[in-house]
Amino acid sequence: MAKNLLIVESPAKAKTIEKILGKDFKVKSSFGHIRDLPVSELGVDIENDFKPNYIISKDKTKVVKELKSEVKKVDDVWLATDEDREGEAISWHLSEVLGLDSKTVKRITFREITKPAVKKAIENPRNININLVNAQQSRRILDRLVGYELSQLLWRKIKGKLSAGRVQSVALKLIVEREREIRNFVPVSTFKVYAIFDVENDKGKIVQLKAELNKVFNGEKQAYDFLNKIKNSVFEISDIKVKPVKRNPAPPFTTSTLQQEASRRYGFGVKKTMMIAQRLYEKGLITYMRTDSTNISDVALGAITNFISSEYGEEYHQFRRYSSKKNAQEAHEAIRPSYIEKRNVSGDKDEQRLYELIWKRTIACQMSSAIMERTDVEISISDYDSAFFLATGQVVKFDGFLKVYMEAKDDEEDDEVKGMLPPLRKGQKLDKNIIEAVQKYTKAPARYTEATLVKKLEALGIGRPSTYAPTISKIMEKDRGYVVKERIEGKEREVLKLSLKGDEVLKKTEKEIYGAASNRLHPTDMGMIVIDFLEERFSTIMDYGFTAEVEKELDDIAEKGLDWHKIVADLYFPFHKEIENTYANATRVRAKRELGKDP
């Protein structure tokens, strides 16, 4: 019979660890949290220093009973839940419910489920970190107090079954504000001028050289006058500038950057990405997937170095240390493969794709920079000296990390790839093929995707790796009716095109489709009404800076052991006064909001 009981929160994780530890350990799962605040009541004793009333949920009574039975059969109990605040809280709740001494129980953590990592953890047990527990507990209590009281207020003042929350409502506010920006956006028309010149290449074949005027025109008449003026102009290369361009690899993945890249490449929602990453972690294939650190362990760096040098050559390796953002936990690691030499894994298609993405990003982050050669060619116009045409080409001289991986771009980012130019020389006269002035419209800001919303939340300091996916999932729940995710069909509009071919300027009207996009987040009418109501009456809670400051205070509880009761009290009591004032003075919202038309 095993002398040791090791408890984790996931059955898949338990299965992987049991294979590593052998017969001396029995590994059981708690199936997540075993207790929490009650669902149907506040569950926090405000007058008794915010004491939480934790209860064991009905679906966990059998699990608790089995774990209590197992505890009696062994000499030692080990708690090996995840290394973040949520995992620490699960261990603390287990020690409380199972009657273990939180000061002596053996708490272990590891960032990857591999034999060396698990064995090392067993050799170095510690106590439960009560500061981490208090940070998690503070977040849970704050979110319950704010969410419970705001939701009840919304039921009374707007509509039943609505909900609000300390972080989720701020995230919804971002979506609503972006929607209003889009609806108020008035596109501005300008004319850009493009030229195609016929040039002989090094094989004697005529090829096309494309160039763009370094000036835009505000109206059709200006564009027409320009084309008319240069009908008989001589076009000559006035300058050629060649310069090296260095491109560096992206840092290894954090939670948010993995969510963003998986969305851009595969269209994964943040919840789906985290579910797949969780499975990969529990199988022992990647390091822990909730992290804001870009740090990589020395052992892993050594393995990456050896792999790159042997696989691609030493010239492809460049040692790099990446600085994490402020408040990142450097003791944690970035998301990386557990075994660097393992390029592919078995499993379903999504697991294979996400693993390959993590593997490539990890290898690339320690590879040499890519070296490009950029050539800018200025083409003068004999009859117009206040502007010139610019042709740009770029060639890869050394591929470096691009041999393995290139980061994807968001839809709104313009990163046109330039190709190789034909042989050109300063003073060379160019034969005009066609010059066109094309009407262009400024673009409205793009609606958020799940991934770009995570990026914005992170930039504002709102939320942490463990909260991004749950926050976005909450505001997108159908029962809440605040946000919908859908494809935006493009709209048709007319654009003018003026063409100079020979010595004649021709005008024609073409149609273009604009604004098409996939997986965009739209606020509903109700979502906008709720945000307007909260913004008007709870400006502090809805303030981005205030929400970020609360996150920093939660970090301080975890890292410095600050008094969590005071932090909760300082936020709650002013907020509760606003709740009472709103009950007394706010009238019920009845009017349906006119949303206007999408531009």
| Distance separating alpha carbons of residues 248 and 347, to the nearest angstrom | 32
Helix axes 270-282, 349-364, angle to 10 degrees: 80
Nearest-CA neighbor of 401 among 294, 246, 532, 555? Answer: 246
Catalytic residue among 288, 355, 448, 482: 288
| Distance separating alpha carbons of residues 542 and 575, to the nearest angstrom | 11
| Distance separating alpha carbons of residues 406 and 429, to the nearest angstrom | 38
Residue at 339: amino acid letter: Y
Cα dihedral value 354, 279, 87, 552, nearest 10: 20
514 given a catalytic annotation? no
Specify whether the CB–CB gap between 42 and 150 falls below 8 A.
no
Nearest-CA neighbor of 530 among 166, 94, 154, 149? Answer: 154
Helix axes 168-184, 468-475, angle to 10 degrees: 60
Specify whether the CB–CB gap between 579 and 537 falls below 8 A.
no
In DSSP notation, 457-477 reads HHHHT-S-TTTHHHHHHHHT-
SS3 537: helix
| Distance separating alpha carbons of residues 579 and 333, to the nearest angstrom | 42
Q: Around Cβ 103, how many Cβ atoms within 10 Å? A: 9
Specify whether the CB–CB gap between 35 and 53 falls below 8 A.
no
| Distance separating alpha carbons of residues 274 and 262, to the nearest angstrom | 10
In DSSP notation, 126-137 reads B---HHHHHHHH
Token pair listed for 2 = 């095993």
| Distance separating alpha carbons of residues 135 and 96, to the nearest angstrom | 17
- CB proximity list for 270: less than 8 A, separation 6 or greater: 259, 263, 450, 451, 454, 468, 469, 472, 473
- Please list the residues that pair with 440 across neighbouring strands: 190
Specify whether the CB–CB gap between 286 and 337 falls below 8 A.
yes
In DSSP notation, 346-400 reads -S-HHHHHHHHHHHHHHHHTTBPPEEEEEEEEEEEETTEEEEEEEEEEEEEEE-G
Token pair listed for 71 = 């505890």
Residue 348, Cβ density class (10 Å: 0-12 exposed, 13-18 middle, ≥19 buried): exposed
Cα dihedral value 58, 64, 66, 67, nearest 10: 160
SS (H, E, C) 202-248: CCCCEEEEEEEECCCECCHHHHHHHHHHCCCCCEEEEEEEEEEEEEC
Catalytic center residues:
288
